[in-house]
Amino acid sequence: MITRRQILQLVPTLGISSAVFARALAQETAGKLEVTREMIAAAEWVSGIELTEEQEEALVKDINSLHSQLAALRKVELDPQTDGPALIMQPLLSNSKIAEAASTNNKPAEYVLPKDVQLPADEADLAFMPVHKLAALIQSKRLTSTDLTKVYLQRLKKYDPQLMCVVNLTETLAMEQAKKADEEIAAGRYLGPLHGIPWGAKDLIAVDGYPTTWGIPVFKDRIIPQTATVAQRLSAAGAVLVAKLSLGAIAMGDKWFRGMTRNPWNLEQGSSGSSAGSCSASSAGLVGFALGSETLGSILSPSTRCASHGLRPTFGRVSRSGCMPLSWSMDKIGPIGRSVEDLALVFAAIQGSDGLDPTVVDRPFQWPMAVDFSKITVGVVKKDKPDPAVDVLREIGCQIKEIELPGGYPLSALFKIIDIEGAAVFDDLLRAGKTEGWNTWTQSFQSAQFVTAIDYLRMQRVRRKLMNEFEKLMNEVDLLFNTGDLVHTNFTGHPSLVMPYVAPDAQAGKKPSSVVFTGQLFGEATILALAKEFETRQAQPLPRPSLPS
C-alpha cells in the first residue's frame, strides 16, 4: 500500500486541491481509502479524458470496487522470475524472412580447435588470450584449468579495487569446478571448447550458494536458492565460474551499491551499463568470458565503451530463467568476450529452450557456418563521410545497399514499457519504501503507476507496428551495419553484435572504435560468420588496455 510519505511527495505533481487531498489523506491514514467524485475529477488527466459531473458520480461505485479488487490482487504472492504476465512477446512475424529457413534443422559442423597455439610465458599474455586458444591449450593438456583459474582469480583480486567490477568472488566453487575439469580431461572425457574455461556472471544471474544482489543494497546478502539455466548450461559444458560481476542498480548504468564500475581503458570513466562488470572484466583480462544482459543497450553500450565483443541474441533465443526480470517483453541474455569466435562458442552452449522461460523457442544454430559472402546484402545508412569499415565489407565481397530506418515513431514514449514492467517487478519493494541505491528507478517506477492499462497496450500496439515495418526493411537485406538501430532492434527483438574495430589510421595501442552488425531474427550464425571474417581483416592487431600494476 502507498505510504503517507509517498502521498505527500506525489500530491504537488497531481494538482489535487487541498480539501480533496486532506480527506484522501485522512482516509489513507485510517487504512480505508474511499474514492470520491472530486478525486475522480482531479485525476482525469491520467486517462486523458474529460467527464461530466454525472459521469464522475456514476464512476464512484465502480472505482471504489476496483480499489478493493486491486487491494486483493496485491495480497497474492508473486515471484517476478517465475510469475510473468500472460502476454508473451513473439518477435517472429508471419512475413519474417527467416521464418521458412529457420524451420529446417541443420546439423552443426564439427568444431575444431586451432592446433598452432603456443603457451605464453607471461601470465598477462595468457589472461588476454581468447577462449578458443585457451581451449586448445587445455585440451592438449599444456595448461590445466586449475592453473588458469588461479591466474584469473589473482587478477580479479588485484584489479577489482581499481575497476570495481566484482560483487562476489566464487573462489570455492571455481576451484572445485577447475579440479573436476582437470580430472575429466585427464580421463579422456573432454566436453568441448568451454571445458575448464573461467567465466564471470552478471550479478542478476542466480547461482545457488552465492548472493545475487541485482546491484542494490537491500539484496546485498540475498541468496536465491536456484541456479539460472544459463549458468547450469555453462557448468554442464565444463566452464568454471570465478565471479559474480557488477551491474548498475536494477540494471541501470554502471553505479551500484559499492560505487561505479570503471572502464579499463580510462579509469576516470565508468564502464557504461548495465553489463558494467562483465564488459570491464572481460576487456581487462580478468575472466575468459562473461555473460551480460540487455533490455535497451546493456550489452552493446558497455561493450562499445570497454572495446569488448558482445552478442545480444534474438529475443526468445536464450532462457532467462533464474535471471532478474526488468522487462519481461524485452530482456535478453548474451555473451561478452574477446573474439567473435568466443561469442559463438558461448552462445552455442546457452541458447535453446529449457521449458522454464515461455518466450524461448528452439532454432537451429550451425557453427562454424559456411557463408557465401558474395550473396550477402548489407544495409547501411548514407553518411556524409566515407566509412572505411564499409570498405572492409566490400573487400569481403558483400553487396552494399543504402537504407533508412523506419521513422515517425515516438520511440522515447515506448521506453515507458520498461518502466511499467519494471514497476510491476519491483512493486512490493517500492511500496515498502526499500528504494535505497536505486539510481533514478524510484521516480521512474512511481511515474509508471500513473500510466493506464489502455496506454500500456497502445505502446505495445505501436511496437508491433514498428516490428512489422522493420521486418519489411529486413526483407530487403541480410544484415545491417552501423545503422544506429539499437533502440529499434531492442523493441523488435533482432540480434546484434558489437566488436572492436581497428581503423587503418588508428594510433597503435589506443582504444579501438566499435562496429555493430544486426541480423535477421534467429540469424546469429550469419552475423557471427560475417563478423569473424571482418575481424580477420583488421588493419592492426587488437590492442589491450594497460592497467596500473
Q: What single string gives the DSSP state of each residue in 262-323? A: EETTEEEEE--SSSHHHHHHHHTTSSSEEEEEESSSTTHHHHHHHT-EEEEPPTTSB--TTB
Distance, CA of 178 to CA of 173 (rounded, Å): 9
Strand partners, 245: 166, 202
**Which residue in the block uniquely carries the three cell numbers 472530486?**
38
185 SS3 class: helix
Buried b (16+ CB within 10 A) or exposed e, 189-198: ebbbbbbbbb
Is 298 catalytic? The answer is yes
Q: Are 412 and 296 contacting, i.e. CB atoms less than 8 angstroms apart?
A: no
**Catalytic pick among 272, 274, 319, 444:** 274
Task: Give the residue from 334, 126, 377, 118 showing the smallest Cα distance to 230.
Answer: 334
Q: Are 199 and 287 contacting, i.e. CB atoms less than 8 angstroms apart?
A: yes
Helices (H), ranges, 299-410: 300-306, 340-350, 388-396
Is 274 catalytic? The answer is yes
**Catalytic pick among 271, 283, 298, 301:** 298
**Catalytic pick among 133, 150, 202, 255:** 202
Distance, CA of 492 to CA of 484 (rounded, Å): 14
Of the chain, the end-to-end C-alpha distance in Å amounts to 52
Q: Tell me how far CA of residue 311 lies from CA of 42, 91, 168, 460, 481, in angstroms.
A: 48, 17, 24, 25, 14
Is 68 catalytic? The answer is no
Q: What single string gives the DSSP state of each residue in 63-118? A: HHHHHHHHHHHTTS---TTT---S-------TT-THHHHHTS--PPPPP---S---
**Which residue in the block uniquely carries the three cell numbers 548504468?**
253
Radius of gyration of the chain (CA): 25
The residues annotated as belonging to the active site are 202, 274, 298
